[in-house]
A = this chain, B = another copy of it.
Amino acid sequence: MTFKRTIIASVIIAATASFAFAGSHGGNPAVKARKAHMQLYAHNLGILGAMAKGETEYSADAASAAANNLVALANMSGMSYWAPGTSNAELGEETRALPAIWEAGSKAGEIAGQLREGAAALAAVAGNGQEALGPALGPVGGACAACHKDYRQSNN
């Protein structure tokens, strides 16, 4: 290993090691990543939902930022998170992802497309005023609910 390669390896190790924050230890990496991804959907959707319902003051900047974050999240690649072999049939209670996600006829990919479209439409109007948020959140929330209904283990 050359000196340059040693430096590069050290930087990579330092960077990855520095991410070992509390709460990140153990568990399936794909499950942890997709839960983090869902957490960020929830965070940004929560900001927009609260503004839509009038629970928090509308801010065009904050609404646009949250909607653009949803667009970014919806367009990220999930290929490493949604790996075959990571359903609740294989991993148990660590995840609520049902095997149907990966089975023939799965509409999970199609619903993900609806989420991307819904998020883009939401981002296009999120800065236009509080009244624009509710109607534009409908299709986004619908995609969330559709996927959870058929592809996530119910808590009941």
Residues on A facing B (Cβ under 8 Å): 5, 7-9, 11-16, 18-21, 23-24, 29, 32-33, 35-47, 49, 52-53, 61-62, 65-66, 68-69, 72-73, 75-77, 79-81, 96, 134-135, 137-138, 140-142, 144-145, 148, 152
Identical subunits present: 2
- Complex contacts, A61 vs chain B, CB 8 Å: 79
Taking A8-B134, A43-B29, A65-B77 as contacts, is the C-beta distance between A38 and B15 under 8 angstroms?
Answer: no
* Complex contact A18–B68 (CB within 8 A): no
- Complex contacts, A135 vs chain B, CB 8 Å: 8
- Complex contacts, A5 vs chain B, CB 8 Å: 134
A contact patch SS:
helix
* Complex contact B35–A16 (CB within 8 A): no
- Bound state CA distance, A46 and B12, in angstroms? 9
Partner of A142, one of B11, B33, B66, B144: B11
- Bound state CA distance, A14 and B42, in angstroms? 12
* Complex contact A80–B53 (CB within 8 A): no
- Complex contacts, A15 vs chain B, CB 8 Å: 45, 49, 137, 140-142, 144-145
